[in-house]
Amino acid sequence: MSWRTIAARDFKAWVKDRRRVTVTIVTPIVMMIVMYGAFHDVKPTSVNVAILRHDSGAGDPIVDQLRCDHRIHLIHVKSVREGRDLVRRGSASVFLYLPSGFPDRKATVYYDPTDPMGSRYVLNKIQRSWARHVAGTVKSSVRRLAPVLKAAPERPVHVPQFNPFRVQTPVKGMKYFDYLVPGLAVMTAAMGSIFGLGRLMMEEIELGVAYALFAAPIRARDVVIGRFVNMTIWGCVRCAIVVLVALALGAKILHPVLLFLVGALSAATMVGLGLLMASLAGRSEVAEMATGAVTIPMMFLSGIFMPISVMPGWARAFALINPMYYMGDAARKAALLGYLDPVDLLILLGFTLGFLAAGSVLYDRVREYL
């Protein structure tokens, strides 16, 4: 049998399988459309800024510029502690405190390290607005004094400070690698298991192993739970390796143990999704392609590689039903802010139990292929 015959046979088998053809054609089209719609404009679309001002009007140029920007939503707070808490909880990307005596007394800009693009956008906005104000002040002073410069003695011209801001963050000296590490930890824990699980389960069906399992006195849900536990353990191992290597490379992780716990729960969540996808697929190739078609858009729209503040409204709405968003959010809060968000953890636990229950029920359908 020549290689041409083998290639022709495999090609015909591929074409006859409608699920293979559909996934092969539709996946790249959908992926590119989704990526373009989400990332063609990388400016943040919605950024919350907490503000507290005790100045007597010197900060008006800054506040006016922030208020006129449709991407920025101002939240007025009553104390410095309240503004910092909003940033730590992720309710605001930046907290701006304008004290009395500004600009002689420096203002405080406290930003969220888990949203670098949104916070950087606001920081640039603040600095540019103040620079324009200083430039306008200098120009008006020069115009006013120009007619009398030759006749009058030299007098000092009061020029406001060019950069009267003190920038603070919970994690000092953070680099983009530090921002990526929490997401990489949970993704490494989850993706290896979910992509290998579908092929493994479908190959068992195609090789007759599943027939032997169902012939034995064993329930379908026991098979699912066994696969779930095994893949979750290996996901935890991968997460631990990533955390240890990141620490060795100098990554800033405030609480590695908390990050590992989030990685373990993330692995369990995505293994549950892999079980569900495998239960719905009919062939090993279809299982892999369908899993990729689902997980790759989920990954890029989760905020793990780029904050959701730069995404359009529909992408941010999708994040609310995307388990990977809660994985990345919980991981960054654990690694960069040092606490576990109970809302993220409860939502991930709900996804895990839902995927596991659905996979247990649907896996019984493999009897149709035996």
User: Looking at the whole model, is its pTM more than 0.85?
Assistant: no
Strands 94-98 and 47-53 come out as parallel
DSSP states of 161-177 as a string? -S--EEEE-SSTT--HH
Closest to 278 in 3D by CA, of 177, 164, 340, 197: 197
Rounded distance between C-alpha atoms, residue 323 and residue 350, angstroms: 10
What are residue 75's DSSP bridge partners? 50
Residue 51, classed as helix, strand or coil, is: strand
CA distances from 241 to 101, 116, 166, 188, 262 (A): 51, 26, 37, 9, 14
CB 319 within 8 A of CB 298: no
CATH of 47-168, picked from 3.20.20.100, 3.40.1710.10, 3.60.21.10, 3.20.20.70, is: 3.40.1710.10
The predicted structure's pLDDT at residue 159? 47
Per-residue pLDDT of the chain (370 residues; tens, 9 = 90+): 555 665 666 567 667 777 667 766 765 666 556 656 655 555 677 888 999 998 878 788 888 888 888 888 999 999 989 998 888 887 888 999 988 888 888 888 998 877 777 888 888 888 888 888 878 777 776 666 666 555 555 555 444 555 677 777 766 666 767 777 888 888 888 776 676 566 666 666 666 666 666 666 666 667 777 777 877 888 888 888 888 888 888 888 888 899 999 988 988 888 888 777 777 766 666 667 777 777 878 887 887 777 777 677 777 788 888 898 899 889 988 888 888 888 899 999 999 888 888 877 776 665 555 5
What are residue 53's DSSP bridge partners? 98
CATH 3.40.1710.10 in the chain is located at: 47-168
CB 348 within 8 A of CB 338: no
Which runs of consecutive H residues, i.e. helices, occur in the chain?
Answer: 3-16, 18-39, 60-68, 80-89, 116-145, 176-207, 209-215, 220-248, 256-280, 284-300, 313-319, 323-332, 342-362
Rounded distance between C-alpha atoms, residue 280 and residue 290, angstroms: 9
